[in-house]
Amino acid sequence: MSLKLHCFGESGNAYKAALALELSGLPWEPVFVDFFNGALRASDYRETLNEMGEVPVLVDGDARLTQSGAIQQYIVDKTGRLGGAPADRWEVLRWQFWDNHKLSSQAGAVRFMLNFLPPEKRERQAQVVAFLQGRLETAYSVLDKRLASREWLVGDSLTVADISCCGYLFYDEPFGFTRGDWVHIDDWLDRIAATPGWKHPYDLMPPARPENRRAEHRLTENQKR
């Protein structure tokens, strides 16, 4: 029986869970959540799926999990894949927590404000965006330095630490990240994309916005070098 992941393509946190599922080899299927039309605010969603009103939500029979990091660990435990060597467990967890606090939380907020808010609201958030982009510059520096002398964040193979930290960096929408500015991150993203089974988020999960529904991913100015 396939696992079901409640998600939508624009969610970087859902992408972390979807990509881990895809690369783990588990049978799974996306269940579209219509975020931009208020699905996460609906009482039935919060009462039956996630009281936090968020994606992703993984359903595996009677088991239901939320939060991308918890879902990733569930996948690691279920398959024995993507967790690295046993001795790497805590280091993998350290990078997942760092991403959630220092990288994805900032990138997700900036990307949302710059691309999904109405123009008049974006103008009012200019100072917030500038502040968060400054914090992101620091996070990119930490990530780039870590990757300067190694192929993967932890150990000698792709783990959920990599999948967590790359979650927002494959998106097309501009939010202040340009791959060419960070040579080691750029090479690392190429290695992830070369992993058999890798897919762009809009090819892995159904996008909520019509302009993102396409058969093939095409690089935009945000991702060009």
Residue-wise pLDDT tens digits, 60-94: 999 999 999 999 999 999 999 999 999 999 999 99
Q: How far is it, in rounded angstroms, from Cα 41 to Cα 47?
A: 10
Confidence check: pLDDT of 216 > 50: no
| Pair 93, 152 in one domain | yes
d(CA 196, CA 110): 30
In a domain, 221, yes or no: no
Predicted model pTM: 0.93
Q: What is the DSSP letter of 196?
A: T
Residue 104 lies in a domain: yes
Written as six digits, the tokens of 16 are: 């972390």
Statement to judge: residues 121 and 166 lie in one domain = yes
Query: Could you say which of 31, 52, 79 is where a domain stops?
Result: 79
Residues 26 and 53 in one domain: yes
Query: Out of 53-62, 119-128, 134-143, 194-203, which region has the weakest mean confidence (pLDDT)?
Result: 119-128
Domain range for 49: 3-79
Average pLDDT (128-152) is 98
pLDDT band at 213 (very low <50, low <70, confident <90, very high): confident
Say yes or no to pLDDT of 112 above 70: yes
Domain's final residue, options 79, 102, 123: 79
Are 107 and 152 part of one and the same domain? yes
Q: In the prediction, which pLDDT does 18 show?
A: 98
Looking at the structure, do residues 117 and 194 belong to the same domain, yes or no?
Answer: yes
Q: How far apart are CA 151 and CA 147, in angstroms?
A: 6
**What distance in Å separates the CA atoms of residue 154 and residue 152, rounded to the nearest whole number?**
6
> d(Cα 31, Cα 66) in Å, to the nearest integer?
14
What's the token pair of residue 178?
């340009």
Residue 225's pLDDT is 38
